[in-house]
């Protein structure tokens, strides 16, 4: 964090910006108050040294304001207008938005601070009481819930120290006012709510979380007046404690400005989960000890794909093909059917059949009828909800999704001749304006109706219809040359129309032919790409 001392701002109240750049006034001819300058410096928008502050140029201030407006997603004017001032004085986290790490290209919306904890087991403790009347026990419960949200999606384990000496904890949580022993004094004026220290060298202040005790925190579900929800602020600050910087995604937990959160609970968003998992990896689930025994008659190969996804069993990744109330497992040698069929409800609680499915950060969304459920592996993560309750602006009762697909930050539904696109909004999805649209008008070469859609591990997009599949260029939304291809030539190859268990696929001599087939498929795809 940028350290700023009071003498730097002596005389800044006399700073007026009256010049123009290329004849266009970038900032109104008004006094730029010291607090705004301090904000732009502290949050990383104004790039200058202490000795240069007295010589600020209009273009310096204008550029800093534009960077702030871009991050906050408000109109970029370069002027210190009313909306920009609102964001300067709006309650928020005290950590900077732009650091030296921000100079590199953002491949995602989230941003990594660059340091991490070098161990998986981290201790924590609440060190003191607050002056808001929240009991120590209630604060501890809030912190437990906050740590659990990050632990649920990472391999980090947070262990509370309930006995002395709590000051030996890796992450020390305390309520402080004004100057409190670190370089970053609180303002006590409603601007900075809290701050937390990055993992850094894993020593000293690393990971520590400080709340401004001059602010009014509450554990109530519906904060009123100047109250701030302690759970939301705590989850945000712990994101910093484990290595995340601020995100410019509105609704993300790591968005720096307090968003007037109300409610009993909330989940991390896709942006937050993507960020932390890029540091510590995906959550490793316990190795499954379940023995796969087909619970319906064997001997019938699937003839079409209704939904398809990849799922982890412990450290092993499987590809599952769903055929309404049944599913099959594919092998990863030649993508043929390995074993099955199995009854969907025998492994996915409460799901009797699957219309469509997609995966985001190892969370699997299953759609059936007018409802959907979310699973982490084979364990239910969120119980059933109505599709229109989780995907906003759909008509009530929306049902029977033909296919679901994730591309970057957007989710696509396909149903009949139409498709819908949704953007992430906190923990749910908001229908983008202008949708639904006709498939034929925008996905060139696809049939009007599809059965399933899927993104392979290499980023290639596949659509399935009847006994055929299509590969689609995601930049042009068009079917690639040489498609469609018969499913029986790849995804639905079966050794016979009889027993299709894995044992029937392991006879001597099969391995070499599988490798030859795989090489042939890759060669054909390469030749197709050259002809495009």
Positions annotated as catalytic residues are 237
Phi–psi pair at 76, nearest 5 degrees: -90, 105
Beta carbons of 96 and 42 less than 8 angstroms apart: yes
Owner of token pair 């379940």: 290
The whole-angstrom separation of Cα 335 and Cα 320 is: 10
Pair of tokens at residue 287: 């190795």
Q: How does 214-229 read in b/e, with b if 16+ C-beta sit within 10 Å?
A: bbbbbbeeebeeeebb
The whole-angstrom separation of Cα 499 and Cα 515 is: 22
Q: What is the DSSP letter of 432?
A: P
Closest CA to 174 of 125, 217, 121: 125
3-state secondary structure 454-466: EECCCCCEEEEEC
Strand (E) or helix (H) holding 252: none
The whole-angstrom separation of Cα 261 and Cα 210 is: 20
Closest CA to 491 of 331, 362, 265: 331
Name the E strands within 127-267: 157-160, 171-176, 192-196, 209-212, 217-218, 228-229
Assign 191 to helix, strand or coil.
coil
Q: Residue 395: which residues within 8 A CB-CB, separation 6 or more?
A: 388
The whole-angstrom separation of Cα 58 and Cα 466 is: 63
The whole-angstrom separation of Cα 101 and Cα 323 is: 46
List, in sequence order, every residue forming a beta bridge with 385; answer none if it has no partner.
372
Pair of tokens at residue 24: 């266009």
């Amino acid at each position: 964090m940028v350290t700023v001392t009071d003498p730097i701002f002596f005389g800044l109240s006399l700073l007026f910006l009256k010049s123009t750049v290329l004849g266009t006034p970038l900032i109104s001819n008004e006094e730029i108050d010291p607090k705004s300058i301090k904000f732009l410096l502290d949050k990383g928008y104004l790039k200058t040294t202490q000795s240069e502050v007295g010589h600020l140029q209009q273009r310096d201030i204008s550029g800093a304001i534009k960077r702030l407006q871009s991050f906050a997603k408000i109109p970029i004017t370069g002027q210190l207008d009313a909306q920009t001032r609102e964001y300067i004085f709006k309650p928020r986290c005290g950590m900077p938005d732009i650091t030296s790490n921000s100079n590199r290209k953002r491949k995602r919306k989230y941003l990594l601070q660059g340091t991490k904890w070098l161990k998986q087991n981290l201790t924590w403790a609440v060190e003191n009481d607050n002056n808001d009347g929240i009991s120590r026990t209630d604060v501890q419960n809030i912190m437990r819930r906050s740590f659990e949200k990050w632990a649920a999606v990472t391999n980090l384990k947070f262990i509370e120290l309930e006995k002395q000496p709590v000051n030996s904890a890796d992450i020390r949580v305390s309520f402080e006012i004004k100057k409190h022993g670190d370089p970053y004094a609180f303002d006590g004026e409603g601007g900075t709510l809290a701050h937390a220290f990055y993992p850094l060298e894993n020593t000293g202040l690393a990971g520590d979380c400080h709340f401004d005790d001059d602010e009014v925190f509450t554990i109530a579900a519906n904060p009123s007046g100047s109250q701030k929800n302690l759970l939301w602020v705590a989850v945000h600050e712990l994101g910093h404690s484990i290595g995340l910087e601020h995100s410019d995604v509105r609704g993300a937990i790591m968005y720096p400005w307090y968003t007037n959160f109300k409610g009993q609970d909330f989940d991390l968003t896709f942006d937050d989960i993507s960020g932390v998992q890029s540091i510590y990896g995906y959550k490793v689930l316990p190795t499954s000890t379940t023995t796969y025994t087909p619970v319906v008659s064997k001997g019938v190969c699937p003839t079409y794909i209704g939904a398809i996804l990849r799922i982890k069993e412990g450290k092993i990744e499987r590809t599952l093909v769903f055929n309404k109330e049944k599913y099959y497992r594919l092998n990863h040698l030649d993508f043929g059917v390995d074993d099955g069929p199995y009854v969907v409800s025998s492994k996915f609680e409460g799901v009797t059949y699957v219309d469509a499915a997609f995966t985001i950060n190892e969370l699997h969304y299953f759609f059936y009828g007018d409802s959907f459920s979310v699973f982490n592996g084979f364990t239910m993560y969120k119980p059933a909800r109505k599709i229109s309750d989780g995907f906003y602006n759909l008509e009530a009762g929306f049902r029977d999704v033909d296919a679901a697909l994730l591309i970057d930050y957007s989710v696509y539904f396909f149903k009949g001749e139409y498709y819908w696109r949704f953007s992430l909004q906190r923990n749910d999805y908001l229908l983008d304006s202008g949708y639904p649209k006709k498939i034929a008008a925008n996905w060139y070469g696809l049939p009007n109706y599809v059965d399933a859609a899927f993104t392979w591990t290499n980023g290639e997009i596949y659509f399935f219809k009847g006994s055929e599949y299509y590969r689609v260029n995601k930049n042009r939304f068009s079917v690639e040359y040489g498609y469609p291809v018969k499913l029986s030539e790849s995804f639905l190859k079966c050794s016979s129309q009889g027993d299709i268990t894995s044992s029937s696929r392991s006879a001597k001599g099969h391995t070499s032919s599988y490798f030859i087939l795989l090489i042939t498929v890759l060669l054909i795809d390469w030749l197709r790409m050259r002809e495009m």
